[in-house]
Chain A
Amino acid sequence: MGIRVHLDRVMLERGISLTELAGRVGITLANLSILKSNKAKAIRFSTLDALCEELHCNPGDILKYEIRAEEAE
């Protein structure tokens, strides 16, 4: 996947736990865990909106495009 989720880094900077963020954003801990571990296939705008609002950040702080290893070669 070219798009990487850096939720863990943003959460660390804000000092917020996964459980607390899940409660505030209104999504399940399991789904937030899927997003944090880069297993998610897609993210809804509403989820991204809620995350940015709670973490006081932009979508670009959470999502980053990384060149795949095979493309870099």
Chain B
Amino acid sequence: MNLIGPKSIASKLHLAVKVLFWLAVPGVLLMAIVPILPPSWHHNVSFVVQSGPLECSFDMFRATEARWWIWAMELVSRTCHAVVLYLLMRILEPVGAGEPFDLKTPSRLRMMGCAVVIGSLLRTVFCAELLSMGTVAESGAHFSWAIDFDAIFMGILLVVLAEVFHRGYALKTESELTV
């Protein structure tokens, strides 16, 4: 099986990422509307924050002041995941069609890198804010956090990769316009 082009691994990966993206979108939207839900509904809302610098599980109803920080952190995290999935879907689209060096691929890779880094930094800031509030013990949650260097490294790697694709596109254009 081919790696790129129609009916290739890339085209199947594009389909898989597309499905994941459309599954992620309702999650983000549901998370975004939590503050406007009636307080009685909060009994049924619980978050398990597993990604980024913070790992905790907490009950929306039991957590007091800290809950909105945790909610914001989880919303940022899910939004970043959705953005990355969307950009990955758009990057894989031309690859699946047999055109890996697309005009917009470098900017999409750059945006993906920025989303990964910004998301990671925001989660770290929210986490630090949570710990400084001193209400963590009252919230019933258990926290451990650190700067997510893996995500920052990944973001920088994506930005570098964007430059590689930018050069690749320039070479492709030049090759196509050589007679």
Question: Using a CB–CB distance below 8 Å, which chain A residues touch chain B?
Answer: 27, 31-32, 34-35, 39-44, 47
Contacts and interface: CB of A to CB of B under 8 A. Distances in A.
Q: Which 4 A-B pairs have the closest CB atoms?
A: A41-B177, A42-B178, A31-B179, A35-B179
Q: Give chain B's interface secondary structure class.
A: mixed
Interface string B145-179: 00000000000000000000000000001100111
Interface of B: 173-174, 177-179
Contact of B177 (A27, A32, A40, A47): A40
A39 B178 contact: no
Residue of B174, B177, B179 with most partner-chain A CB within 10 A = B179
Contacts of B177: 34, 39-42
Nearest to A43: B179
A40 B177 CA distance: 5
A41 B175 CA distance: 8
A31 B174 CA distance: 13
A31 B173 CA distance: 13
23 contacts: A27-B179, A31-B179, A32-B179, A34-B177, A34-B179, A35-B179, A39-B177, A40-B177, A40-B178, A40-B179, A41-B173, A41-B174, A41-B177, A41-B178, A42-B174, A42-B177, A42-B178, A42-B179, A43-B178, A43-B179, A44-B178, A44-B179, A47-B179
Contacts of A42: 174, 177-179
Contacts of B174: 41-42
A32 B178 CA distance: 10
A40 B174 CA distance: 8
A44 B177 CA distance: 11
A47 B179 CA distance: 7
Contacts of A27: 179
Contacts of A31: 179
